[in-house]
């Protein structure tokens, strides 16, 4: 059986290192290319027997599927390179922190390409999204809804991309669209109807914790997912790489993979 060639964009990031540890558990996959920021000290050195480079054209040419956990600017540069290539290389991306203008450019560049985007590659989080959607469908009108998330002290974006997608799931289920409100210091700020409140905590080495609260009169529902090992994300990304390999060009999510 021909193995799927996997390129990793950002192999020295937290997710990149985890993917390198887990990829040998997947018989269908073969590590083929490692691309890192040109200023990184790892450039020219070997990881898992492969010399790390900074050439996007080389990354695309050597890969059937690229797994990308970098920063928005780098992901956009990758997509621009893909559009200039004749190779039908797929991308599984978990990059977060896009501005509205970057997200618009990202979606434009994705047209005609084979892309799976998920801000969280955990299978459990994606099941949580479906539970949140179903709960919102039933009780969102009589609930005050809050989302809290906790991550390690090196995470840059607040709130997390996953928290934002949980809010999207709420609005997919709710009959009345709700707006996102980010909790800040105030001495006179009352909660309004149809808000989704966000609270973020950053500290230590927390991999990720997300909770959605539906507060009602006399009761509340809490839906929570806690990640205790980063391999759940890398395994999810590697499973996504296998899944998308034979798919037609298009924009996919982990929910599509889960059916």
Tell me which residues are annotated as active site: 151, 155
Q: CA torsion 58→59→65→68, rounded to 10°?
A: -160
Assess whether the previous peptide bond of 104 is cis (omega < 30° from 0). no
- Identify the three-state secondary structure at position 200: strand
CB 243 within 8 A of CB 133: no
202 CB-near residues (< 8 Å, 6+ apart): 150, 151, 152, 153, 155, 158
Torsions phi, psi of 102, nearest 5? -65, -40
């Amino acid at each position: 059986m021909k193995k799927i060639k996997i390129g990793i964009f950002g192999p020295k990031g937290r997710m990149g290192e985890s993917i390198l540890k887990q990829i040998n558990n997947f018989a269908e996959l073969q590590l083929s290319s490692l691309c890192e920021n040109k200023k990184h000290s790892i450039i020219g050195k070997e990881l898992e027997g492969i010399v790390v480079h900074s050439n996007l054209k080389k990354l695309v040419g050597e890969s059937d599927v690229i797994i990308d956990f970098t920063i928005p600017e780098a992901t956009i540069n990758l997509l621009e390179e893909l559009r200039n290539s004749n190779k039908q290389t797929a991308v599984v991306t978990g990059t977060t922190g896009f501005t509205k203008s970057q997200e618009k450019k990202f979606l434009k560049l994705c047209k005609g390409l084979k892309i799976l985007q998920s801000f969280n590659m955990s299978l459990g989080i994606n099941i949580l999204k479906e539970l949140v959607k179903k709960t919102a469908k039933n009780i969102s009108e009589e609930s005050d809804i809050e989302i809290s998330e906790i991550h390690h002290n090196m995470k840059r974006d607040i709130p997390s991309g996953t928290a934002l997608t949980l809010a999207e799931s709420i609005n997919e289920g709710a009959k009345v669209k709700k707006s996102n409100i980010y909790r800040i210091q105030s001495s006179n700020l009352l909660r309004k109807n149809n808000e989704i409140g966000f609270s973020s905590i950053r500290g230590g080495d927390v991999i990720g914790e997300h909770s959605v609260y539906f507060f009602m009169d006399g009761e509340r529902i809490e839906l929570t997912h806690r990640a205790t090992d980063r391999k759940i994300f890398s395994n999810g990304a590697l499973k996504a790489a296998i899944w998308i390999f034979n798919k037609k060009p298009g924009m996919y999510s982990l929910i599509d993979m889960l059916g």
